[in-house]
Structure 1
């Protein structure tokens, strides 16, 4: 029951953090979860650095009890989300929370919000409180500057009862504050205790393992499918019209790009393809997931592998050949607009762009059709792709909260984690029929009030197992899930998969220069020797010591793969 909302900017600029922030609202609304490019964390203290995994983690996490409500039309496969493509009888929705678990006690929640915050007493908030048995005062903060507010609040003595913490904000003192300021939820959720909250029990175990901070279960997760979340989108309608064949190797892509580009006609083959190129060339993710023990038994980081340089050199060729839109080279304008207007034919985007761009263009450009290019190996063989982390946003409860406050917070999270095909999911995603949406041909459609009020607050408290459903465009859900399943067949896990790793503070900025260096190199503003020197400097200024730290961590906890 994905809310009817087009992505404002499906394609993003080159910044990893800005990408996460810009797509957070769109991907939270799509129950497939958040883009999971895990951020490096700071240090809580010597004993708080590291991770908890393996048997130690198994003792801390909730028992898993799968939901049996509304079985998917397309079951999960190869790590994909589940897919729902048939219409749901909205008049006969099941209840996943038949008895209200909330007592109506007051609860203050701080959460990021992208867009205009609803009024505190709006009909949406009132309706959700009535249904869940809660009484929430929302302290919504601008998602684009959330880290600043989060850091200030955690440094103070006044912390809301519940706080939403995104992975990309887990840097510096915020990371250490998580273990110091939020409570251990194990006494309420570990093992069979979670069965009081059936929707939380249905969250996959891997997501719960990612919710262990400082040796205790402190987070309630939004789970996500570990398959790739970045899609190399292409304009299928234009490809079909022109008779283009979708490329299946790096050389084929460059050859096609030269053919398709016509500066005179104001058409360029693509934008900056670094994100997709990482998949084409088999580059490991950034952050803790970038560490992996190879078949030779050696622990290495992503930038030490030859494919790291190879993928950058290939993207540089695209820029040098003039097949990249000039505005992409200059990092100006809106990449999504260039794609939807036909100025570029291929681009990178978070998966939510599939639905967002389709809905945005449905009325004004009915011939518009976007599709996802399958990842290929750079040489034309099978690709090597890497799993993203199974959770990247958590809601946490402050230490010292009363038992009633904790139970009401968990009641709210349990309501927010309701699976597709339930009354609770409809309330969270659409609000109240007649007030926030109407039903047309069996499909719920938000009105203006629904768009304004049914915003991204409740959805960040928790989420069900990853799924994709678009009642107004069911074929998009089918394409998304099938794309994930095809890519999932080639996904590997790195040695740090499923671990919520807190790196020592002294290494927090060790890799920070590489993103800008990559941006400059592919545009021809830096030389290959500059990148090679940066890698050498990374090793000597802490990379080799960080490798030793990771080796000890993996020796203690075991490998995630």
Structure 2
């Protein structure tokens, strides 16, 4: 339903939050947090994680895997006893990358959802690009909706001041055991909740998203001549992949997404997940020998003609499907989506040690797509009602509420068929287009369910099991840097352009150290200092 490959790579140009000119320009976030009640800080308790009641998964979840189901559960759990709303209108600001959904009067889906909520859900939806502009205009007008989505990667600036000035502090409602009043929100987990913390306070409800980061997907048939996709080292990969290049048949092992491929190679070499924290000091991945080794390996791959020769290629998945490209990089939700849709022999490469001295890692993602804050235009008496509504909407897979949100009404929007739920034509029209903007306001934790494809569900679960011992989180999650919001997009573009230039031979690897100095001078050092200051608080 949702094309997130592009969205999650999006870092919009910096946007100044209007209406805050009188506010101080200094900020820090989420410094002091403690996990699961442990006495790590006296300032803030993260919401206490409490696993929701769900149907028993078909595969183990003992190593942190997502709950996996080989068929749709026969019996669902009811996670919310009574409709949570009070009959009033609930307004929200959100976004969609699909077409605008039908309005309530024309949508049996929204009518059914509103009835279940006992509310009138009304969304102000930005279609496509332009969310920061709309966000800015609404902030400037001071005509805020009840619920406002704060995305993590669209360049919103001066977020701490904005939250303090125009949104409710929800800490007392959600920190520690207080969240247990909202069981589905308590099920979101620490990784997601850290994204909703600013200046040591909880200013919103985390919008849960996959915790797992980018993956390297393959057409397994492409790699059969070299015995598959198990490699003993980076050199082993280089040799085997090189033997599969066939220019006469337009067959190349790798898509030409050089930056994404460097990210994959960096995991083989053991580079940090953006930042490394040691003794209170941060080191950016660009500063590490491991990341430099990943770029150097990409240069070798380019010289060996492993990459598809046209760097502007837009039909990567078509080329992978017909056996012309052997591997491409995708977000983890994209892995699930491609597993549903692609009919070739799809596989995935588990990170392996690049050298005998390397320790492979797997980089976890943010675990959320931001958070949803409650405007201070909302009377405090309505806050608990709104949290109860969000609790309903965050219901996990295997619950009655989740089925309604994702599939609609049985007989109207879907039918049951062979252990699966299948959209009717009305369901296809109403549900996906409406679900997408809702999913940016509130989301539920990931679950693995691929209708009619138990083997691919097992493939994904097996991958999660294998990477479990090597996962590394982002150490700056839940911390705020003004420089990152102001210059993050520019700095990211600088890095990407330099990597592309080096890999493609337009610049030399010898220029990398000087580039890193320039990158630090133009904002990297300021980001580091701001994050370190925030981290020092907790």
TM-score bracket, normalised by the shorter chain, equals 0.7 to 0.9
Residue of 294, 301, 317 corresponding to 1:311: 294
Any idea what the Cα deviations from partners look like across 1:367-406, whole Å, max 9, x if unmatched?
Answer: x110111101211554133443343321111113024543
Q: Counterpart in 2 of 1:119?
A: 102
- CA separation in 1, counterparts of 2:24 and 2:351? 41
Any idea what the Cα deviations from partners look like across 1:482-538, whole Å, max 9, x if unmatched?
Answer: 2122112112346x3543323346765555411221122211222224332211223
In 2 relative to 1, CA 110–197 (structure 1 residues): closer, same or farther, beyond 3 Å? same
In 2 relative to 1, CA 136–404 (structure 1 residues): closer, same or farther, beyond 3 Å? farther
Q: Does 1:71 align with 2:56?
A: yes
Contact 2:413 2:425 in 1 (8 A): yes
- CA separation in 2, counterparts of 1:149 and 1:452? 26
Q: Counterpart in 1 of 2:254?
A: 270
TM-score normalised according to structure 1 size = 0.83
In 2 relative to 1, CA 529–142 (structure 1 residues): closer, same or farther, beyond 3 Å? farther
Q: Counterpart in 1 of 2:175?
A: 190
In 2 relative to 1, CA 395–541 (structure 1 residues): closer, same or farther, beyond 3 Å? closer
- CA separation in 1, counterparts of 2:9 and 2:132? 11
Q: Counterpart in 1 of 2:480?
A: 501
In 2 relative to 1, CA 175–552 (structure 1 residues): closer, same or farther, beyond 3 Å? closer
In 2 relative to 1, CA 142–447 (structure 1 residues): closer, same or farther, beyond 3 Å? same
Q: CA deviation at 1:49?
A: 2.0
Q: Does 1:370 align with 2:355?
A: no
TM-score normalised according to structure 2 size = 0.86
Any idea what the Cα deviations from partners look like across 1:51-88, whole Å, max 9, x if unmatched?
Answer: 32334477354333321231323343444322222441
Q: Counterpart in 2 of 1:379?
A: 355
Q: Does 1:433 align with 2:413?
A: no
- 1:401-440, aligned counterparts within 5 Å? 401-403=378-380, 405-440=382-417
- CA separation in 2, counterparts of 1:94 and 1:255? 51
Q: CA deviation at 1:252?
A: 1.4
- CA separation in 1, counterparts of 2:504 and 2:421? 45
Q: CA deviation at 1:159?
A: 1.4
Aligned residue pair count? 515
Residue of 219, 222, 237 corresponding to 1:253: 237
Q: Counterpart in 1 of 2:515?
A: 534
In 2 relative to 1, CA 439–337 (structure 1 residues): closer, same or farther, beyond 3 Å? same
Q: Counterpart in 2 of 1:28?
A: none
> Which runs of 5 or more residues in structure 1 are unaligned?
13-17, 23-36, 363-367
Contact 1:154 1:174 in 2 (8 A): no
In 2 relative to 1, CA 65–353 (structure 1 residues): closer, same or farther, beyond 3 Å? closer
Residue of 473, 480, 503 corresponding to 2:453: 473
In 2 relative to 1, CA 183–193 (structure 1 residues): closer, same or farther, beyond 3 Å? same
- CA separation in 2, counterparts of 1:48 and 1:56? 20
Aligned to 1:64, the other structure's residue is in SS state coil
- CA separation in 2, counterparts of 1:299 and 1:208? 22
- CA separation in 2, counterparts of 1:39 and 1:392? 18
Any idea what the Cα deviations from partners look like across 1:175-227, whole Å, max 9, x if unmatched?
Answer: 6434432211124333443333221122213422331123321121133454x
Answer with 422-431 or 194-203: which moved more. 194-203
- CA separation in 1, counterparts of 2:337 and 2:473? 29
Contact 2:195 2:370 in 1 (8 A): no
- 1:115-154, aligned counterparts within 5 Å? 115-121=98-104, 122-154=107-139
Contact 2:55 2:76 in 1 (8 A): no
Q: Counterpart in 2 of 1:52?
A: 31
The runs of at least 4 aligned residues of structure 1 exceeding 6 Å deviation read: 37-44
Answer with 145-154 or 345-354: which moved more. 145-154
Q: Counterpart in 2 of 1:324?
A: 307
- CA separation in 1, counterparts of 2:396 and 2:69? 11
In 2 relative to 1, CA 232–361 (structure 1 residues): closer, same or farther, beyond 3 Å? closer
Q: CA deviation at 1:147?
A: 2.5
Q: Counterpart in 2 of 1:348?
A: 329
